[in-house]
Amino acid sequence: MKDTLRICIEEKKTSYIPIWFMRQAGRYLPEFKEIRKKNINFIKLCLNPNLIAEITLQPLKRFDLDAAIIFSDILMIPYSLGQKVEFKKGVGPVLGDIELDNIINTDPTDFIKRLLPVYKGIEKVKDNLKGKSLVGFAGAPWTLLLYMLNKESPKNNFNFDKINKNKFLINKLLKKIEEMICLHVDKQIEAGANIIQIFDSWAGLLPKNELPNYCYIPTLKVVQHIKSKKIPVICFPKGIGESYVDFCSTVKPDCISIDYEVDPKWIKDKLNGTPIQGGLDPKILLDDDKERIKKNTENYLNIFKDYPYVFNLGHGVLPETKPETIEYLIKIVRNKK
């Protein structure tokens, strides 16, 4: 039988609201922190099939969720293209210098070989899902290009003109990244992922006139590839505001994940029935005021009452979130219908 997430997205059924969370596996869960303490090297942890499976399933053991998202990271692609990737405490990801020729010439077989433990991890999860969805994912071409060239989070340091200067480099790199995303997604699907989310976490940094070049067109290629595999794809072009509408009419994802700055009523009216996911500001979950959490959650549930809607947040679960709050939130969603 088809899982509830796919029933909502593919059949556009509105009788049930599936629920899962971006970043549901990780940082805010004590059982994750326990494993993390013993595994200082984050990349190594992302290459341990047993621990990938265990961490992926941790939130499902605790909560009544409709989907698991595979424990991995979008930066596993630059890593597998031979760029150095480190996660520094309090700083975030730090990447090494780019050697364009090495990256462009990375053999797809070698690329896949480095990521084999990820696919093995997915295979281990697949049989323990009891009919729930397994979300595979990748970063969108722009967000990956940005990390690869910026070598650190653009939160700390970002200059679009600097990135945009070397067109020759960018075109070559973007093409390679697109190909590797498609390959990585194929392998996740082969291993058992049955829905794919594409994270464009930094789409909002692009000047509006550059959105087609860097966001819509490269993402469209990836989305068309995933659709050809008959697997639904959710896109999350975070921070693009009113351009969500152009994004959807150009890229045509099976489901669109909205961030907390998007007005839910406005987008519902604009989208002509494309299933919508998410929206609720993850910061609201840090509030001790349960009534405020309830009010904000019910706002989304009411607006999307007769619309294909997947409950999720407007970005990932924050590390400071109490697991009890996630439990409370799920109850509100479950009791609504």
Q: Nearer to ligand CP3 by C-beta: 92 or 108?
A: 92
DSSP single-letter state for residue 287: -
63, 87, 160, 307: which one binds ligand CP3 (CB under 6 A):
87
Distance (Å, rounded) from C-alpha 259 to C-alpha 78? 25
Residue 316 in contact with ligand CP3, rule: CB under 6 A: yes
Residue 277 in contact with ligand CP3, rule: CB under 6 A: no
Nearest by Cα to 27 from 80, 73, 65, 78: 73
Three-state DSSP at 181 gives helix
Residue 75 in contact with ligand CP3, rule: CB under 6 A: yes
Least gap, CB of 97 to ligand CP3 (angstroms): 19
Residue 62 in contact with ligand CP3, rule: CB under 6 A: no
9, 17, 19, 22: which one binds ligand CP3 (CB under 6 A):
22
Distance (Å, rounded) from C-alpha 69 to C-alpha 67? 7
20, 79, 119, 199: which one binds ligand CP3 (CB under 6 A):
199
Which segment (8-16, 68-76, 109-117, 124-132) binds ligand CP3 by CB under 6 A?
A: 68-76
Nearest by Cα to 242 from 258, 255, 226, 229: 258
Please state the length of the chain. Answer: 337
Q: Report how many residues bind ligand CP3 under the rule CB under 6 A.
A: 22
Strand partners, 135: 69, 195
Torsion angle in degrees (nearest 10) through CA of 331, 332, 336, 337? -20
Distance (Å, rounded) from C-alpha 29 to C-alpha 46? 17
Q: Which amino acid is at 14?
A: T
Q: Nearer to ligand CP3 by C-beta: 231 or 303?
A: 231
Residue 304 in contact with ligand CP3, rule: CB under 6 A: no
Least gap, CB of 122 to ligand CP3 (angstroms): 12
Say how many C-beta atoms besides its own lie within 10 A of residue 170's C-beta. 16
Taking only Cα atoms into account, the Rg of the chain, rounded to an integer number of angstroms, comes to 19
Least gap, CB of 336 to ligand CP3 (angstroms): 24
Quickly tell me which residue has 């997205």 as its tokens: 9
Which segment (22-30, 76-84, 165-173, 223-231) binds ligand CP3 by CB under 6 A?
A: 22-30
Q: Nearer to ligand CP3 by C-beta: 42 or 63?
A: 42
Least gap, CB of 142 to ligand CP3 (angstroms): 12
Distance (Å, rounded) from C-alpha 103 to C-alpha 17? 42
Residue 63 in contact with ligand CP3, rule: CB under 6 A: no
Q: Nearer to ligand CP3 by C-beta: 27 or 175?
A: 27
Q: Give me 307's structure tokens.
A: 């619309």
Residue 69 in contact with ligand CP3, rule: CB under 6 A: yes
Q: Nearer to ligand CP3 by C-beta: 45 or 303?
A: 45
Q: Nearer to ligand CP3 by C-beta: 65 or 303?
A: 65
Quickly list H helices, the chain: 4-10, 30-38, 42-45, 49-62, 76-80, 100-104, 108-126, 141-150, 160-165, 167-191, 211, 217-228, 244-251, 264-270, 290-303, 323-334
Q: Nearer to ligand CP3 by C-beta: 12 or 23?
A: 23
Strand partners, 313: 280
Residue 98 in contact with ligand CP3, rule: CB under 6 A: no
Site string for ligand CP3, 216-235 (x = CB under 6 A): --------------------
Site string for ligand CP3, 117-146 (x = CB under 6 A): --------------------x---------
Contacting positions for ligand CP3 (CB under 6 A): 22-27, 36, 42, 69, 71-75, 87, 92-93, 137, 153, 199, 201, 316
